[in-house]
A and B are shown apart, each in its own frame.
Chain A
Amino acid sequence: MLGDLLNGLLNTLDISTLLIMSLCTMAGIVVGTLPGLSATMGVALLVPLTFGMEAATGLLALGALYTGAMFGGANSAILINTPGTPAAVATTFDGYPLTKKGQADRALITALLASVVGGIVGTIFLIFLSTPLANFALGFGPPENFWLAIFGLTIIGSLAGKSIIKGLIGGTFGLMLALIGMDPVSGYPRFTFGFYNLIEGINLLPAMIGFFSIPQVISMMERKDKYIAKYEERKGIYKKTISETLKRRMVLLRSSIIGTFVGMLPGAGGNVAGFVAYNETKRFSKNPKEFGKGNIDGVITSESANNATVSSSLIPLLTLGIPGSPVAAVLLGGLLIHGLQPGAKLFTESSGIAYTFVVGLLVANILLLLVGLIGTRFFAKAIAIPIHYLAPVIAVLAVIGSYSIRNSMLDVFVMLGCGLLGYFALKADITPGPIVLGLVLGVIAENGFVLSAVISETGPSMFTLFFTRPISLVLIILTVLSILGPLLLNLRRKKKDNPIDIDSTPHQKAGGE
């Protein structure tokens, strides 16, 4: 295996391959940054271009683009409070407040480093542990998915901001949106009001663009400011931020591992990973109150988790041939066109290409670091664009992005509708985070529940299915802890002045400066 890995590394370090990968990383960052152009779409657009390349080069190009796009999502999340990809929603929570404080550059550099660390950790898991992890992921059947979604909903507690009730209202609204569309079992259309495209349900991307970017655009116009926030290039910020981020070892590692595990679960993965990691980091943090107000840990955790999903979402694809995420499904097409059959035999029958690809993902992360470090200088300048240019540009991008997802005008109306709702919700202090979370998890929860009910017809009772399976039990315990945890922690803190501290203490201050 070591030989294969070395061989793969040598294949990757070919100058033309590196050049293609760098270009694809840049393209990925652009695709990821623009709301509406998601990682999935970027990879889908690139697939036909890779047909002319060698199989390994083509796959590396796709991997580099995916890595770049996943980081790119953070740029717009931090600078204009609009996640460029659904996985970057959690980055907005602390990233944008940092921008408002005039620390956009610090947030961007941190996001970059966290992305690279997350990507590398995820890839290491992919290389060394893919088979056991894939088998673990297979253990997630309908009942487990249901509980995962329920666990995910408890995260609303940490997203809610000022008022838990308002967070719950947002979450419930998201869950209601998730009900629109065809009933997964009977095939009966619900709440579609005669729009035949709606039977597919509310598409996450236009809804997300609407909830985040439209209220942002409107509020930009309301305020009389000329710029989003003040920003001046500060000397030595790179060095300072890099050392500051790397010292947050526990946050980086924990978030990357959470991203790896949640990201590899087919169907549930990618979009939820950032939320789960954010929740855990907040729970373990000494200053949970600072989250949502510009705590740098919030950026670190979300970005390292979502970039860890890049590699881990490929685990079921490469080991079992099951595309677990939309991007993996597109990559599957790329593999098939090159005559590669993903699955257990990929690493034995086409080991050269397979190992080149996985090692190449490590190289892609290093390229991302280099390209990103040069890039952040320019990205940060985006806030130097006066609002009267920026707001229309964002509005136009939101419309084009929504339309281009599947050439559907209906998606544009969904985006606008969600945007208006989101604007008024925000006026009532209902933030978009819980709404989007509800929309994502509602679909997963419903499918898990209904399918379990169907399976229960074969013999096992609903109780056995939901409450006796080991992974379900763990998830139930996590859910209960997640609800009771904050209360218990508070009690403990009052008793002892020395709370559980997993993060390294001396740098605790860095988060809140």
Chain B
Amino acid sequence: MKKFYLIGFSMLILLFASACAQLGTEVSSEDIESYPDKDVRNIVPFSAGGTTDVNQRIIESYWKDYFPENMVIEYYEGAGGEVGFTELSKAKADGYTMGSINTPHIILQPLARETQFEYDSFDILARLVHDPQVLAVKADSDIDDLDEFIEKVKEKPKSLSVGLTGTYTGDHLTTLKFMDTADVQVTPVPLAGSADQVKELLGGHIDAIMGNVGDVTKDLDQFNVLAIATEERHEWLPDVPTFKEQGIDLVAAIDRGLALPKDTPQEIHDKLFEALEQITSLPEYEEKMEDAGLVADFLPGDEWAELIEEQQKEAKEVLEKFDEIE
């Protein structure tokens, strides 16, 4: 008798489990209609309190004006965002998981090592931040401008060290591109993060950093920004000349935005996109972003995806040129 109960019980559990699995496979039109009827999780692939987190927290503060359910921020940090990107790419494509992606991170990581996602494993909602790269030295450095920097390093190759936030990151790629276009050889120093870049630079342990506008505008008095990798001068740094002005064809930035797992229903994508478009055009949003040192620059997902496609090809070429990948 006991055995009978046991078997019966196991069968019930199996039934229940398979029912759950059934529910999981398809997103029905009713689900789309009623979306969202539960909390939407937002994966932040970097640490709490970091810039990506701050960005998402600002969006979260307006989220409730557009949706009845909460946005729940979850942190999956590690390996330059790879842990979080993987989590996002593998999540169920039902609209209840979205997350931040960054370029060129999502492009470089699959190029550099075996990852469980590819640069096109995401259904991209929108770009939120476009933070151009800058080459900066310490304010009291004996290098005054880009010409001097290039002259010095041409005289003695590798004699200047440039701090980066790790290997196979945007800073790394931009530095390689810089070495390529300016035909110089610097010594790239991969550090743990942007805080370490600033620390080592101010401490005089490295000569320059390849950073972002957001890093140096926190306290401009500490830095002498030699050049910015944009087409035209940036409104936050009007006195800083572009690389292009100085004869070096270098345009690069770190972009951040939101994405869904691939194959999320288009209707849900559209709902989220509309809300994002409205939130990001609020004047208070822009103000808060600027206060937090985030260079807001909204771009719809499909346009960003095209840019990413181009960037991927370019990055591959550069890395192959420097023998960084096979």
Residues of A that sit less than 8 Å from B by CB: 40, 44, 47-48, 51, 138-142, 182, 184-189, 196-197, 199-200, 266-267, 316, 320-324, 326, 329-334, 336-337, 339, 341-345, 406-408, 447, 451, 454-455, 457-459
Contacts and interface: CB of A to CB of B under 8 A. Distances in A.
A337 B48 contact: no
For the complex of A and B, list the 5 residue pairs with the smallest distance between their C-beta atoms, beginning with the closest.
A333-B49, A141-B205, A187-B167, A330-B49, A44-B48
Contacts of A451: 189, 191
A197 B83 CA distance: 6
Contact of B161 (A48, A139, A330, A454): A454
Contacts, number: 151
Contacts of B187: 454-455, 457-458
A329 B75 CA distance: 14
Nearest to B49: A333
The interface size bin for chain B is: 35 or more
B195 interface: yes
Interface string B49-60: 110011001101
A337 B54 contact: yes
Interface in B60-108: 60-61, 73-79, 82-83, 86
A242 B31 CA distance: 63
A187 B161 CA distance: 18
A187 B113 CA distance: 9
B112 interface: yes
B159 A458 contact: yes
B184 interface: no
Interface in B231-268: none
B299 interface: no
B195 A329 contact: yes
B78 A141 contact: no
B189 A459 contact: no
Given A339-B288, A454-B161, 8 more contacts: A320-B198, A329-B50, A330-B47, A330-B49, A333-B50, A342-B218, A406-B78, A455-B205
B79 A182 contact: yes
A165 to B, nearest CB: 34
B199 interface: yes
Contact of B196 (A266, A336, A408, A457): A266
Given A329-B49, A334-B49, A337-B292, A316 B199 contact: yes
Nearest to A199: B79
Given A326-B47, A336-B292, A458-B158, A406 B76 contact: yes
Given A336-B291, A339-B291, A138 B83 contact: no
B306 interface: no
Interface in B29-47: 47
Contacts of B196: 266-267
B115 interface: yes
Which one of B48, B61, B166, B219 has the highest number of Cβ atoms from chain A below 10 Å of its Cβ? Answer: B48
A455 B54 CA distance: 33
A406 B13 CA distance: 30
A345 B221 CA distance: 10
Contact of A330 (B48, B82, B168): B48
Interface in B186-218: 187-192, 195-196, 198-200, 202-207, 218
B292 A459 contact: no
A343 B219 CA distance: 7
B200 to A, nearest CB: 6
Contact of B219 (A140, A186, A321, A457): A321
A320 B199 CA distance: 9
A196 B84 CA distance: 11
Given A329-B47, A455-B205, A184 B190 contact: yes
B161 A345 contact: no
A322 B201 CA distance: 11
A200 B219 contact: no
Given A329-B49, A344-B221, A458-B207, A267 B192 contact: yes
Contacts of A182: 79
A113 to B, nearest CB: 31
B158 A407 contact: no
Given A142-B205, A182-B79, A454-B187, A333 B54 contact: yes
A176 to B, nearest CB: 20
A406 B83 contact: yes
B132 interface: no
A139 B202 CA distance: 9
Nearest to A134: B202
Nearest to B162: A458
Contact of B168 (A47, A187, A326, A455): A187
A196 to B, nearest CB: 6
Contacts of B112: 187
A138 to B, nearest CB: 4
Contacts of B156: 459
Nearest to A345: B219
A408 B198 CA distance: 31
Given A187-B166, A196-B115, A141 B203 contact: yes
Contacts of B288: 337, 339
Given A187-B112, A196-B82, A451-B189, A323 B195 contact: yes
A455 B187 CA distance: 7
A333 B204 CA distance: 26
B82 A336 contact: no
A179 B52 CA distance: 29
B75 A406 contact: yes
B141 interface: no
A195 B173 CA distance: 26
14 contacts: A44-B49, A48-B60, A141-B203, A187-B112, A187-B166, A196-B79, A266-B199, A320-B219, A320-B222, A329-B47, A333-B53, A336-B292, A406-B76, A455-B189
A185 B49 CA distance: 26
B167 A185 contact: yes
A343 B166 contact: no
Which one of B82, B189, B288 has the highest number of Cβ atoms from chain A below 10 Å of its Cβ? Answer: B189
A205 B168 CA distance: 27
Interface string B136-163: 0000000000000000000010111100
A138 B79 CA distance: 26
Nearest to B87: A407
A360 to B, nearest CB: 19
Contacts of A330: 47-49
A48 B53 CA distance: 10
Which one of B74, B79, B158, B288 has the highest number of Cβ atoms from chain A below 10 Å of its Cβ? Answer: B79
B170 interface: no
Nearest to A141: B205
Contacts of A336: 54, 291-293
Nearest to B160: A458
Given A267-B192, A316-B199, A407 B48 contact: no
B203 A138 contact: yes
Nearest to A340: B291
A343 B198 CA distance: 12
A200 B83 contact: yes
Given A48-B57, A323-B195, A333-B53, A200 B79 contact: yes
Given A185-B190, A266-B199, A267-B192, A197 B47 contact: no
A321 B293 CA distance: 12
Given A316-B199, A321-B198, A333 B48 contact: yes
A458 B161 contact: yes
Contacts of B10: none
Interface in B107-123: 112-113, 115-116
A267 B199 CA distance: 10
Contacts of A48: 57, 60, 73
